[in-house]
Amino acid sequence: MKEKLSREEYKLLVEKAPIMIWRSTVTMECDYFNAIWLAFTGRSLEQEAGNGWAEGVHPDDFDRCLKIYTDHFARREVFEMEYRLRRFDGVYRWIFDRGVPYSDAEGNFKGYIGSCIDVTERIEAQEALKKAQESEIKKLRGFLPICSYCKKIRNDRNYWEQIESYISDHSDVQFSHGICPECEASVMAEIEGMEDKTATQGK
């Protein structure tokens, strides 16, 4: 087994890896983006270099991303963040970006190396799930007209129905019917009373 990759092999590995890779110097400006990044943005290395890459960050995400980057850079700590980056076709895609500080052979801090992946599908799935959950909760909000005696609920069509039916129609709840101790005692007393009455009448 080959123990060490050649310089060309390292370069090929970085350029062809199925992730976007960037590098920044001690000035916090970027001096390298791999081919996958450039293909994603549709821009040249010269356009992305320095702070040029930030032109593709969604305006609503820019300030938050800049703060995360500069704060961690100052402390030389690993950071992770998600933001929207403009693709070559003008569509903004959610990106998960992880940056780590790196040093030279003598241990001198040289800047950051980062890797990015497109996580748009995950973000959109999470948002869709959140909206669905909020919609289910919203269905059960507000005042519900309920009968004080039989405990039926008046539905949106102005009909009275059992509370189980109403809740089942407005949520994913499934009922398993049982009897509480208080009702059990009451029912048993009623049954025993009926049995005593029957026995008395039979004498």
How do residues 124-135 score in pLDDT, each as one tens digit?
A: 999 888 887 777
- 98 and 144 together in one domain: no
Torsion angle, alpha carbons of 28, 34, 39, 44, to 10: 60
Amino acid at 155: N
Could you read off the pLDDT of 21-39 as tens digits, one per residue? 999 999 999 999 999 999 9
Nearest to 32 by CA among 112, 125, 131, 138: 112
Average pLDDT, stretch 42-56? 96
The predicted model scores a pTM of 0.64
- Number of domains making up the chain: 2
Token digits for 114? 């980062």
- 78 and 115 together in one domain: yes
> Which residues span the domain enclosing 152?
140-176
- 147 and 114 together in one domain: no
Calculate ∠ Cα 80-70-58, nearest 5°: 65
